[in-house]
Structure 1
Amino acid sequence: MTERLVVGGALFHRGRLLAARRSSPPELAGRWELPGGKCEPGETPEQALVRELREELGVEIEPVERIPGQWPLKPGYVFQVWTARLLSGEPRPLEDHDELRWLGPEDGDTVDWLDQDRPAVAEAVRLLRTTPV
């Protein structure tokens, strides 16, 4: 069985990381994630990330680099995360989210992240602390 790829974006802007609170499905509602979604057939992960953040947040982004590692989701799905730069737009919770929050390097553990997002968030926060973004 082939695993379906789900991409997440560690979206950086002005030294902060964007966190998105899930509004659905019910088992995930109220917890926080790096926004993104499923890769469609024929899309590269980077193309999927650009499309998903446009659909979910109404922004244009530029994928920068993949965060090492991948994490299992529900059976048949695997999660990978890319760092990304905000090019234009102000993120708004258009689909699947009810709140967005920009987190500084010291705020990474102030929201209840989904378990599969935690390793990538830890790396994203480390990057925030060490790299001007």
Structure 2
Amino acid sequence: MKIIDKLAWIEIKNKSILSTKSFGKTKCYIPGGKREPGESDAQALCREISEELNVELDPQTLHFIGSFEAQADSHPDGVSVKMTCYTANYTGELKACAEIESFTWLTSADKDKISAVDMLIFDYLKDQQMID
């Protein structure tokens, strides 16, 4: 089984989670991405969020939420994605950049709009009473 290793930034406001939609995609995804060689979780996540949403995460405030694994969206069966999730404070104003077409705030009622691994994350956050 192949595993795609990714990092995700959990940003919650008013019991909703920040999600992004990339150009050419139909589903929304929690923002983040893959490490480049030699990057730590903090370095990779800070770089990805800066590229995608034009804000700077404060690496000193990174807080591990959990790791979640499920079938990778738009990949053959047997390819899974592992999302290692963190919260962090940020500075700047959110703006869709690079491959990100738009961003939105979702709740657990929006599961039809997200990937399988994001569903696991949404369920966890709802169980923790962090999102509606």
Same fold (TM over 0.5): yes
1:90-129 to structure 2, matched below 5 A, reads 90-103=93-106, 107-110=107-110, 112-127=113-128, 129=129
**Unaligned segments of structure 2, at least 5 residues:** none
Identity %: 21
Give the superposition deviation at 1:50: 1.1
Distance 1:37 1:120 in 2: 15
Aligned to 1:36: 32
Aligned to 2:22: 22
**Unaligned segments of structure 1, at least 5 residues:** none
Aligned to 2:85: 82
Give the total of aligned pairs.
123
Give the superposition deviation at 1:109: 2.4
Call closer, same or farther: CA 1:16–1:86 in 2, change over 3 Å: farther
Call closer, same or farther: CA 1:16–1:83 in 2, change over 3 Å: farther
Call closer, same or farther: CA 1:101–1:92 in 2, change over 3 Å: same
